[in-house]
């Protein structure tokens, strides 16, 4: 049976009241109410935008969803996880400050923020999956602890996966640091000696005692290292380096398997909103102001991450007259993640679209 994807045209230059009404109409038309019950913790996964990013989903778009969930007696919260690299989102404290700076206050959205993988991105739950590459994945603890989830995704091009869509939002965006590393990196970290000051902080944090000092420089024993990434986060001198050379198709498959693990315990209680507005070449992790590549299209809602990402790619092609990847990263094929998602049971590309008025 074809998966249902609901679509409503929308643009960022519309007044806020109109956007709010459209989000509510999608919620109701897609029967998303059935996913949630009173007293449940509902994670609203989003991306608060990197410092300098201005094209993320605006903070003032969230209050209708929060209100809907509160009216059901549920307990919604906004969430995201720490990133691997040096950034204003690499720990929970900086991340919360940045979210507030971008307008994600409780007064604006109606919901508090809980960073799902804790202070340093290491609060994780191991989830067993039947993937082709992994039989277990490491997911942010509070994402697993939530009873249900609404995944709100700003659709963009992407430098490694071809599309920043719903699958990426939950696969990479809800993985713990270890989970992210397993997607990005096929080798263990090493120390860039000239940058190492010998401060010794990484030795204190390494859970496996895999780091020792050789004179004034830290050294990693790759036989002991489990690739958890603690050293990458705590080093203030950018002296821990990773090999990020995983191929796009390999990364997409790893990411899709983490997406499966992220919603494994609430597959019928997870729904997706894809925002086809401010469609930029790169995702909201880039710390620069970006110019959209095309006109706004609208908002999609569905219960299937594969179907909603396929519908997003098709809508972009129809409206722009060319594919998302041809406008951003032509050498990448974003269908790799969708086909892999079908193979491992994450969802289906066979969808039908219903336009909501
Ligand atoms: S935390 Fe960084 S600078 Fe300090 S010893 Fe470890 S690698 Fe060197
Ligand atoms: S990745 Fe984790 S286990 Fe490996 S050296 Fe760094 S802190 Fe230790």
Encode pLDDT of 142-168 as tens digits: 999 999 999 999 999 998 889 999 999
pLDDT bracket for residue 185 (50, 70, 90): low
Half-sphere exposure of 44 (CA within 13 A, CB side): 27
Q: Residue whose CA is closest, atom 4 of ligand 1?
A: 199
Structure-token match 């659709």, residue found:
155
Ligand 1 contacts CB of residue 232 (under 6 A): no
Atom of ligand 1 nearest to the CA of 240: 7
> Ligand 1 centroid to 206 CA: how many Å?
11
Q: Is 227 in the pocket of ligand 2 (CB under 6 A)?
A: yes
Which single residue is written with the structure tokens 């002296």? 239
187 has pLDDT over 70: no
Q: What is the mean pLDDT of the chain?
A: 93
207 C-alpha to center of ligand 2: Å? Answer: 7
Please write the tens of the pLDDT for every residue from 74-116. Answer: 999 999 999 877 788 989 999 999 999 999 999 999 999 999 9
Residue 313: predicted pLDDT: 98
Percent of the chain with pLDDT over 90: 79
Tell me how far the alpha carbon of residue 202 lies from the centroid of ligand 1, in angstroms.
Answer: 6
In the chain, residues under CATH classification 3.30.70.20 are 187-241
pLDDT at 107: 98
- CB distance 342 to ligand 2 below 6 Å: no
- Ligand 2 in contact with 189 (CB < 6 A)? yes
Residue having the nearest C-alpha atom to atom 8 of ligand 1: 196
211 lines ligand 2 (CB under 6 A): yes
| In CATH, 3-182+247-355 is 3.40.50.11440 | yes
User: What is the pTM (predicted TM-score) of this model?
Assistant: 0.86
Looking at the CA of residue 203, tell me the nearest atom of ligand 1.
6
Query: Residue 145 C-alpha to ligand 2 middle, in angstroms?
Result: 26
Provide the CATH number for the domain formed by 187-241 in this structure: 3.30.70.20
CB 32 within 8 A of CB 137: no
Closest residue by CA, ligand 2 atom 4: 225
Atom 7 (ligand 2) nearest CA: 206
Are 75 and 42 in contact by the 8 Å Cβ rule? The answer is yes
What is the rounded distance in angstroms from the CA atom of residue 281 to the CA atom of residue 328?
A: 5
Domain with CATH 3.40.50.11440 in the chain: 3-182+247-355
The CB of 313 under 6 Å from ligand 2? The reply is no
């Amino acid at each position: 049976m074809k998966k249902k994807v609901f679509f409503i045209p929308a643009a960022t230059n519309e007044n806020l009241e109109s956007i709010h009404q459209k989000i509510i109409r999608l919620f109701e038309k897609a029967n998303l109410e059935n996913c949630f019950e009173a007293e449940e913790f509902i994670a609203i996964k989003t991306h608060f935008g990197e410092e300098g990013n201005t094209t993320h989903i605006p903070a003032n778009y969230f209050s209708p969803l929060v209100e809907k969930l509160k009216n059901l007696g549920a307990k919604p919260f906004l969430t995201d996880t720490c990133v691997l690299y040096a950034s204003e989102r690499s720990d929970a404290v900086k991340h919360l400050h940045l979210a507030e700076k971008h307008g994600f206050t409780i007064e604006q959205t109606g919901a508090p923020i809980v960073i799902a993988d804790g202070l340093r991105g290491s609060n994780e739950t191991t989830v067993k999956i039947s993937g082709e590459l992994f039989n277990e994945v490491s997911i942010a603890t509070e994402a697993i602890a939530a009873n249900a989830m609404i995944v709100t995704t700003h659709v963009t091009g992407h430098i490694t996966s071809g599309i920043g869509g719903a699958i990426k939002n939950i696969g990479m965006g809800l993985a713990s640091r270890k989970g992210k590393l397993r997607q990005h990196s096929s080798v263990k970290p090493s120390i860039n000696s000239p940058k190492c000051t010998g401060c010794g902080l990484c030795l204190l944090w390494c859970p496996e005692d895999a780091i020792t000092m050789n004179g004034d420089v830290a050294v990693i024993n790759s036989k002991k290292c489990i690739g958890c990434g603690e050293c990458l986060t705590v080093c203030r001198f950018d002296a821990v380096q990773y090999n990020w050379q995983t191929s796009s198709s390999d990364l997409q498959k790893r990411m899709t398997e983490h997406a499966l693990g992220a919603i494994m315990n609430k597959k019928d209680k997870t729904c997706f909103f894809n925002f086809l507005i401010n469609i930029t070449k790169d995702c909201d992790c880039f710390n620069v102001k970006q110019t959209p590549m095309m006109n706004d299209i609208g908002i999609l809602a569905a219960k299937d991450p594969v179907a909603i990402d396929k519908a997003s790619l098709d809508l972009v092609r129809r409206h722009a007259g060319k594919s998302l990847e041809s406008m951003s990263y032509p050498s990448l094929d974003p269908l790799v993640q969708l086909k892999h998602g079908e193979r491992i049971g994450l969802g289906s590309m066979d969808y039908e679209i219903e336009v909501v008025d």
